[in-house]
Structure 1
Amino acid sequence: MEEVPQDCPGTSSTQAGKGASCQGCPNQRLCASGAGAAPDPAIEEIKEKMRTVKHKILVLSGKGGVGKSTFSAHLAHGLAEDESKQVALLDIDICGPSIPKMMGLEGEQVHQSGSGWSPVYVEENLGVMSVGFLLGSLDDAVIWRGPKKNGMIKQFLRDVDWGEIDYLIVDTPPGTSDEHLSIVQYLSAAHIDGAVIITTPQEVSLQDVRKEINFCHKVKLPIIGVVENMSGFICPKCKNESQIFPPTTGGAEVMCQDLKVSLLGKVPLDPQIGKSCDKGQSFLTEVPDSPATLAYRNIIQRIQDFCDIHSSKEEKLISC
């Protein structure tokens, strides 16, 4: 994982890419290209495009394999169960686009109209966009450098005909790299509600999540909270719980207390989650009585509450 330098000045600083701590940083050239220069005109274009999107939520993780895309998919499914809400899921994991598979959309292609690219729809109120829809084959590797990745993210935000959306969920790759800087920069004028950060209980995962939280602070990205995934296994027969990934340092709960961020909840392991993702189905509807489903629903409700509270605060500020 590419680590944010300890004394990183932040992407919005005039010293971005120029400070002493920037030397050797893999993102130095990207940051320096925007420091002191005229703002990218795409930021205003994206701001205008995003006026029809009410809430924007980023899903982040410090390490790969912690279930970030799985959570993103089920967050989208859970929000879309309310048929009065329009939900969109944007996959910016350019090199590892797993969302099409998880949403049952493998092999689908993007259609273009006069108003831009059209998302691929799972339901009438749930649209998806991913680089996976643009590949010639499911086995094609995306071998792109940073600038091309950034251009693709810009195109997703500016050229997709999202329409009137209540929730836009952005599934990101692990780490704190080009894609993360780009999505925050391009949405900087459009307001991001915040980030949901996914971890597993063991210290090797929490170590990287601390860096992810530091990244959010550096780029002034609000943190909605942390989700501890794979948090124990509850036997479906005897109902006893086993710790498959022991929280040797106290897990996400202790980390959240130390860093003063919210713990949104813990999702236990359930083999059916993986099976549902492989089949492109919603685990929430396939296994409605699972303890993991209950955990998902509680977490989704907390995310909705966070977005509603922040919307109310913004409306009051505007009215003042």
Structure 2
Amino acid sequence: MQLQNLPIYSYHNLGDLNYMRGVLCFRYKDRPESQQLSDSPTVGDPSIEWGNVTVGLDGRFQFTIMPAAEFPKEVRTTDGELWRPLRECPASCSGRGSCQQKDPGEAQDGSTQPSQPHCVCHAFFVGDACDTPVPSYCYRNCSGVGTCGRRGFCHCQPGIWGLGCTRRKAYVSDKGWQPNHAEMKIYVYDTPQNVVHRQDRDDNWSPHNSNPMIYGAELWFLEKLLGDWTVRTENPWEAALFFVPDFCYFHIGNLGLQHAFFEHITRYLESRPWFNLTVGRNHILTATGDRGVCSLYQELPDGVRPAIHNTIKMVHFGQSPPHHLAAHHHSRHHAHNVTHPPPPPEERFPGFDSFRQ
């Protein structure tokens, strides 16, 4: 079976590449790829063959068929339950979950009745049939003029669009608009879903979608910015700054490879006129992992386009340098007054070359 080749930035982190090794997969015999279904089959179905998936560091999948004698007799989910066909669950889980069952002889919680197949919903949905979206995961709760869908995507009423259904006007460039730096305005990109999106993790809730949202700084910031029209503008031609929702943590995780991801975002931005006016110098991207964008500049190959350097990076966490700033003060004793000024910026973090560039 030919599986889609995905770029490496689409993985949560390098650990996922190792996790994918040996993953159990199935396919229907004698069916073209266009008719292969993702519905969980009945274990033992003779029309199914099983295999393993391996993935290399280049992000390419390879499906290898197992010997028939090794086909599984049952399939367990990560929480130890039995994997069941979707048709055995209410409304087939609305196509938004997996069908699972405790061991048939095991009683359901709080009863003496045998367990029944039940839905385990994908991220952003709840309910017995996974038919209820969680509105709090749609920005601004779709502003009351839209319906919350998957991955926090709002289906807006006609004439309204954008993240959280907050856009109602469009502007053209021939009116002589100019940024007013005395009253700074920020334009928020509506990045298309096929570029970046607030994705789930293996169809389940991502760690940054749950409480405490330790890496949710971008989500909270964007939620507030979308509703703050004292600084936000719908007119990109009068904007002094441009905020780009990149959902970085959703795509590369805490310590994932950053260069390929920001290269992907930058190529999209270069197709927009406002980015090219300043080569990205007034565009803001986010990186909410523990090391900010430190690894980005370590990964950059020779001859990289400067546009990746130019954009403003807003980070949440900042990891301390190997030697604390206080260790470089001339006064070594806390009881003494500091008689010398702090070292200049280029000398504060000798362990990080990027601070001296």
Structure number with higher helix proportion: 1
Structure showing greater Rg:
2
- Please report the TM-score for the alignment, with normalisation by the length of structure 2: 0.26
- Please report the TM-score for the alignment, with normalisation by the length of structure 1: 0.29
Higher relative contact order (CA 8 A, sep 6+): 1
